[in-house]
Amino acid sequence: MQPVKVNIFISHAPEDWKQLNKLLRWLYPMRDEVNIWYNKPPPPPPELSLPWQLLLFWYIAPDNRQKYYKIIRARREKAHIYLFLTSYQSLSDRRIEEDIEVAATRRIAGNDNVGPFIFPIILSPSRWKEVSGLAGFAPMAGGKPLSTYKVAEDGYLAVTEELAALLKVLQSRLGEAKFYQSRLEPTGNVQLKASTGSGQPYLGESESELAYQEIEPFQPPEWLGWAIILFLVISVLSTMTPKRLTIGRYDNIEDAEEKPIEFRRERPMMPPRDSIVFPPSD
């Protein structure tokens, strides 16, 4: 039976992106055992260059943000571990409050063995215990703010070691739960439910719903658009040009209409003689 990968959802404020990026580098060696999810929406679709806006005025670029938001919500509801990067910036972020509500609801419906588990990671001193919904959860690294470590790497090391120890235990428990659930279901019809309020842990089913693949926007080169427009303009002007102005075969000859005929007769044409008898006409 394929082992269940542990899903880690990291909630953070946009201002704490630097700390998140550093934490991701520390967790990179775990990439084969865990799925690390965090909210980083794609940018809005870029506009076409001016010539292509004129040529393809009806074209609407695909917006990947709508698809991404749908997938990130599904990931948030199927995480095994929630990490909340806590700072004074995160205390005023409404999106983090929504993440806390989803995580806390799932934690109440879950169980103590397979989670989901919620851990604040204190980035800097703040009043998170007084004003945050995370006050009832034990923080990692003993609750010591990472910014107060004399050596910054010591704080990230402490968080990484705690996660590594938890992953070994949690992965074993999830594997046992998956095996137990497969024995309860009829052979060949294993359908496991996700833990979205039912109290049953997410055991790795419906992986395709959590995959995100960005649709590349149509971005042709600008010079090609100008070349097509120039070709169209020349084609239209050529059909609108008067016939008189078209270049003919002998138009480059000066005073062509006033020139005499090429071969002048030396003698004028004579009328036929009377002695010539023409055959009678029918």
Query: Which has the closest alpha carbon to 169: 281, 81, 269?
Result: 81
Give residue 208's pLDDT.
65
**What is the average per-residue pLDDT within 202-208?**
69
Helix (H, G, I), strand (E, B), or coil: what is residue 201?
Answer: coil
pLDDT digits (tens, 9 = 90+) for 30-43: 888 899 999 988 88
**What value does the mean pLDDT take over residues 164-175?**
87
pLDDT digits (tens, 9 = 90+) for 119-149: 999 999 999 999 989 988 999 998 999 999 9
Contact 40, 20 (CB under 8 A): no
Alpha carbon distance 74, 87 (integer Å): 25
67 phi/psi in degrees, rounded to 5: -65, -40
Residue 73 host element (H or E): helix 64-76
Cβ neighbours of residue 55 closer than 8 Å, sequence gap 6 or more = 225, 228, 229
Give the residue extent of every domain in the chain: 6-210
Q: Mean per-residue pLDDT for 237-244?
A: 70
What pLDDT band is residue 277 in, cutting at 50, 70 and 90?
low
Q: Is the peptide bond before 45 cis (omega within 30 degrees of 0)?
A: no
Q: What is the pTM of this model?
A: 0.72
Instruction: State how far the alpha carbon of 23 is from the alpha carbons of 10, 14, 30, 228, in Å.
Output: 10, 15, 12, 49
Q: What average pLDDT does the segment 60-74 reach?
A: 86
Q: What is the CATH number of domain 6-210?
A: 3.40.50
Q: Smallest Cα–Cα separation from 175: which of 204, 196, 206?
A: 204
Of the pLDDT bands very low, low, confident and very high (cuts 50, 70, 90), residue 191 is very low
CA distance 170 to 190: 22
